[in-house]
Chains A and B, each alone.
Chain A
Amino acid sequence: MKSMEARLARMALKGDQHAFAEIVGLYQDKLYYMSYRMLYNRQEAEDVVQETFLRVYKNLDRYDDTMKFSTWIYRIATNLCIDRLRKRKPSFSLDAETGDHDGIDGYSMIPSDDRTPESELMLSDTQRIIHNAIETLPAKYKSVMVLRYLQDMSLQEIGDVLELPVTTVKTRVHRGREFLRKKLEHKL
């Protein structure tokens, strides 16, 4: 049995505009949150969402429905985010570190817009710390963490989206979690 998304994709391919609008409705917010958490910039997140749907639309005939539709659409969106992150100034690497995070301050290395969703909410210190920490993560950790915690994906699904072995995904989740634990240490 085909998923609802796969059926919608096929209808959209046949020219059904409403079917494509359904797909947009199903994914646009999720993709926006994900892109925002990757890029921490509203405009760039909007652009990524727009570009993702444009690519999906243009490539509907290439969608292989043995793959989950969500895997396909998240793959397109995460690749666009990662491309944008790579074009920015390089941030530090978690690979090179030897257990001690003190002295690493990536906070100011990545620019962010001042009008974040958080600024509209009363955020606790801990949440701010988490967001700041996620913002400073290198792209390859950030994508894994965002898919894991924001989209609630299993390690296997994350591996499918990012085209990585599950063991690599697992390692990145562990390192990302440790990194955040250290950032939050005095708050825990």
Chain B
Amino acid sequence: MAAMNCNVAIVSMHDYLDGELIREDVASLKAHLIACPECRARFDQLERTEALIHNALDMRSGVVETSESAVRTQRILSGLPVRRRKTMGWTRWLRNHPAITVAAVFAIVMFSSFIAMWEQDDQLTVRGNDLTQLVIDGDTVTVPQGVHVKGDLTVENGKANVLGDVEGNVTVIEGSLYQASTAHISGQVKTIDQALDWFWYKVTHSFSSLAY
């Protein structure tokens, strides 16, 4: 009993409250408390303090309301940055497929240069094998009635006014086509007015046709 002094006893009291006092030391502490009224009073105070702190800090006795909680959840989630994985995934994929990336970039560059060409190109252009009988007035290209055009006819950036016959295809790019009741076109009639169509037209046609 006398083996434990009051300072050691106080440390033991705290260890006891922490749940960390081994059984033999619990016995020694008890023995001291029986013998020492001062330490007994101290221990009593500490036990009450412990209970009061637990009580005061117990989260379940808190006053956060469910609505408050829901508002906070919303704010937290909306405050997060946009998930970076989506864009990261895409760039990572590109990094892992360099050949495709190069091809894609090449295609985009090519395609945009075609669009640029298409946008720049607003001059009337007429192409065909037999252009001598056509009447061109402003941006209107007329195949007069009774005239017989041999081969394909292409009109770019203008109006095609077909009154006579065309023995071949008539293609109008970025323009309009008027076919009179007297007109006769033996081949296909095609109107192209979008960049993409034009792109394919340029790609699939040789550029050897005569420009007027």
Contact = CB atoms under 8 A, between A and B. Distances in A.
Interface stretch (A70-78, A84-92, A104-112, A169-177): A169-177
Q: How large is the interface on B (under 10, 10 to 19, 20 to 34, 35 or more residues)?
A: 35 or more
A185 B52 contact: no
Nearest to A149: B57
A132 to B, nearest CB: 11
A126 B79 contact: no
B59 A150 contact: yes
B56 A130 contact: yes
Contacts of A155: 18, 20
B66 to A, nearest CB: 10
B52 A28 contact: no
Give 5 closest A-B pairs by Cβ, nearest first: A149-B57, A174-B14, A130-B56, A181-B49, A117-B63
A130 B86 contact: no
B46 A149 contact: no
Contact of A28 (B44, B45, B76, B80): B76
B50 interface: yes
A135 to B, nearest CB: 12
B76 A177 contact: no
Contact of B49 (A21, A33, A180): A180
Contacts of B50: 177
A15 B86 contact: yes
Interface of A: 14-15, 17, 20-21, 24-25, 28-30, 32-33, 37, 46, 49-50, 53-54, 57-58, 117, 120-121, 126-127, 130-131, 134, 145-146, 149-151, 155, 170, 173-174, 177-178, 180-181, 184-185, 188
A32 B59 CA distance: 10
Residue of B11, B15, B44, B52 ringed by the most chain A CB atoms within 10 A: B52
Contacts of A130: 52-53, 56-57
Given A58-B81, A145-B53, A170-B14, 15 more contacts: A15-B86, A28-B76, A29-B59, A29-B64, A33-B62, A50-B75, A57-B80, A127-B55, A127-B56, A130-B52, A130-B53, A146-B57, A177-B17, A181-B45, A185-B45
B69 interface: yes
A28 B73 CA distance: 7
Given A46-B72, A58-B81, A155-B18, A32 B64 contact: yes
A49 B62 contact: no
Given A21-B73, A126-B52, A150-B59, A173 B14 contact: yes
A174 B147 CA distance: 111
Contacts of B58: 149-150
B191 to A, nearest CB: 46
A17 B54 CA distance: 36
